[in-house]
Structure 1
Amino acid sequence: MSPLGLSSTEEAVYRYFLRNPGAAVRDAGTAAPMDGEGVHRAAARLRDQGLLHGSEARTWATDPGVVVARLAEEQLDAAYRTLRRLADPRPILRSLWRDVPGPSSAGGGGVDAGSAIAFDRLDDLGQVLARIDRAAFHADAEILAAVPNRALVPLGTAHTLSLGLRCLRRGVRVRTLVGSEAPAPRTGADDLRRLRSHGAEVRVAEGLSELVLVYDRRTALVPVDAHDIDRGVLWIEESGPVSSLVTLFERLWAAGTDLADPPAPEPDTDSPTGTQRTVLLLMCTATKDEAGARAAGMSLRTYRRHVSDLLALLGARSRAQAALLARERGWV
């Protein structure tokens, strides 16, 4: 449970009370190689975090489902706060380099002070799209994309369709989450369905509010401002923050639902039947009803009845008007 912020001793004590509900804290010493005082300190911390409840004499472990969800949320929140603080580490680096004696104080002795930094801020949308293009080109295993609806338009070409199709053709797995809070632009929704038809997995997630892209679980992209992508994005190549973003994505993915197909259009009850289309075409081309009836293989009376029905269906007062209206509707 170390990814959730627990020490090995705290995990051992928590597991002890899972196996032994209602036991005394003093008995938990058998669960971890530490003295009684250390066990009591671990139990106290777990109780403060809500992982244990009860008294020293009788203690119970909180349900694991509640515990894991709570601790994961806390770790993700902490990771995201860290990302925000590290959105632009360059001022800190410049400040530190000024304290280094010698030529390096002016700029690191000719070494790019930001070269070892695994965070890169991109303020221009063109730079963002270029970086996405490069990351997608080099991806060889999996691309994860959490794309709120407002990001579909500026990033539609770069991710949701063209790059996604190219990656799928190379055998890269593509999983895309879209938000459900507002309707996606029609072109964005159509692109996502086309992406899915080529093998991508697309789901809709509740509460998805900001863009996250992860490539091969090694690099990631998040907006500097969760509410305004135009303020730039943060490109991350640090394993800890990227792992946290993957964990967040997987939680949202597990809770998401598959992208629904658009509703089927309601049948057009006003469309002509096959026979009526034949009569309509003959009505527009034959010079006389007799010729039209012979070409349709029906009696003159039946042919004229169909003509009358078509005039009523089109709301036309004459055959000429009926022909114009039929062409407008694409019936002929």
Structure 2
Amino acid sequence: MDKRQPIDGPAAVTMTVMCAIWGLQQVAIKVAAPDIAPIFQIALRSGIAAVLVGLILILRRNKMTLNLDTWRGGLLVGALFALEYVAVGEGLRYTSAAHMVIFLYTAPIFAAIGLHVRFPSEHLTAVQWGGILLAFAGVIVAFFAPGESSASMADQRLGDALGLLGAAAWGATTVTIRCSRLAEAPAPLTLFYQLAGAFVILAALAWATGQTGVHFSAITVASLAFQTVVFSFLSLLVWFWMLGRYLGSRLGVLSFMTPLFGVVFGVWLLDETLQSSFIVGSVLVLVGIVVVSGHDLFRLRMARLVKD
């Protein structure tokens, strides 16, 4: 029996803080890109965070059951995590942080579809399928938002497509965790697999493509510190803990705040401009995600109002 719970008050507050952190992540990568390639940024932050998580595993080895049978699922989620951030790192070379955060955070839609196929408790209703269609309609509208020139439009669409690839990989990661022995594994172990896998694959890719140059500056150090300690270590550790405690599709109703934070941070900190068609598409995407992930919550709330 699935013992995961619906969203409660502490979960809602925690998700709000994490959404702000996740929304700022794309900006942190983009702002440091002139001094260090995005792929190498993500490789370094993943490697350092993997060491920190590894220390937690060592210090808590007497309090956690570390089942080594999780290694198969661990290899897969590590590869998927690396794929997600290859897509993000390369995509940010071509599109804005605001665009990337919108397309990347369609991940709950991909996860909801995968969980629907696998778990009876996560089956989608007709209304939720309507939300999925609405979200993908928004993706199409946002994807074809015009750029400043034909050349920039081609680059933008490539970056946006990579953002969608990253979202699909993230959704597949969520489903893989739920379908493997990692579902019952300690959150630090799952996170270690992902971070270690991302470090190995991304570091090798950065080296192979000549993207390992670093110009150390205050921005570079601050960005890497935020990405490593706050994002890759703390927020992801909390995220995987929550996946083990709460219903996965229900968490998605709160994750829709991440794109909002990301767009605001992109416009505010990077002076990015937003096309009207992109804004319309983004609204459709967010509404679709809320319909899919929040359907049960809204239904329960309405039932309580009718009963009262």
Q: TM-score, normalised by structure 1?
A: 0.21
Of structures 1 and 2, the one with the larger relative CO (CA 8 A, separation 6+) is: 2
Which structure has greater helix proportion? 2
Bigger Cα Rg: 1
Which structure has greater strand proportion? 1
